[in-house]
Structure 1
């Protein structure tokens, strides 16, 4: 069981590295596009500029993120990787519209899919791909 004061204690939690010192912008975007809530205030690095750790909750799940710290890993994070973050939601059309209205671009138009979901994909301004789905209403 998750403790909202301590963060996720089980399961799998995506942890994104945002390039270009734009983690603060990413947090604001995720709040607007996906209704993210801050589970804690972001921790700043010693330089007082970059976010070392941020923890958000989106649609009941957890998302962690940080600015890039190439001095700790030797290379910058990729702008867009082979990972897609999936949101299973109550109304895919509404979530899709909110995300594109906030500035996400359409990667796959939303539509009825053979597996029974209303589904589409968007790319956020930070290069991350998000899929959004909900059961097809009959």
Structure 2
């Protein structure tokens, strides 16, 4: 099976309110890079967009009357959970689970302004 460049066999596809702002959040918190953006005929609404975080693709679009909001729980490994947690809060996320130490690493949970929950973990 040959996958398109930059794609994995399984990728989340999010349908978001304020999809234009989602990329700014992921760039600020996770250093995401936008790899594709297609707009609707109005020239401003995201029909389809893709970002990459550490080589992993997340696809997303703006909700419509036909395609309602569909968010996700996303688990992400980072180098520094404390620093990433702070970036997420500074970018408008709310705390779901405070920073704490678990047997699998330093971890926390935040909900971004678009309804997605990010489980942020740095391994020991």
TM-score, length basis structure 2: 0.87
Q: Does 1:65 align with 2:60?
A: yes
Greater radius of gyration (CA): 1
Q: Does 1:129 align with 2:117?
A: yes
C-alpha distance in 2 between matches for 1:88 and 1:66: 24
Which ranges of 4 or more aligned residues in structure 1 deviate by more than 6 Å? none
C-alpha distance in 2 between matches for 1:77 and 1:101: 24
Q: Does 1:36 align with 2:29?
A: no
How many pairs align? 123
Q: Is the 8 A contact 2:95 2:110 kept in 1?
A: yes
Q: Is the 8 A contact 2:6 2:55 kept in 1?
A: no
* Equivalent in the alignment of 1:94: 83
TM alignment of 1:99-110, pairs within 5 A? 99-110=88-99
TM-score, length basis structure 1: 0.79
Instruction: Give structure 2 stretches of 5+ with no counterpart.
Output: none
Superposition CA RMSD, Å: 1.9
More strand by percentage: 2
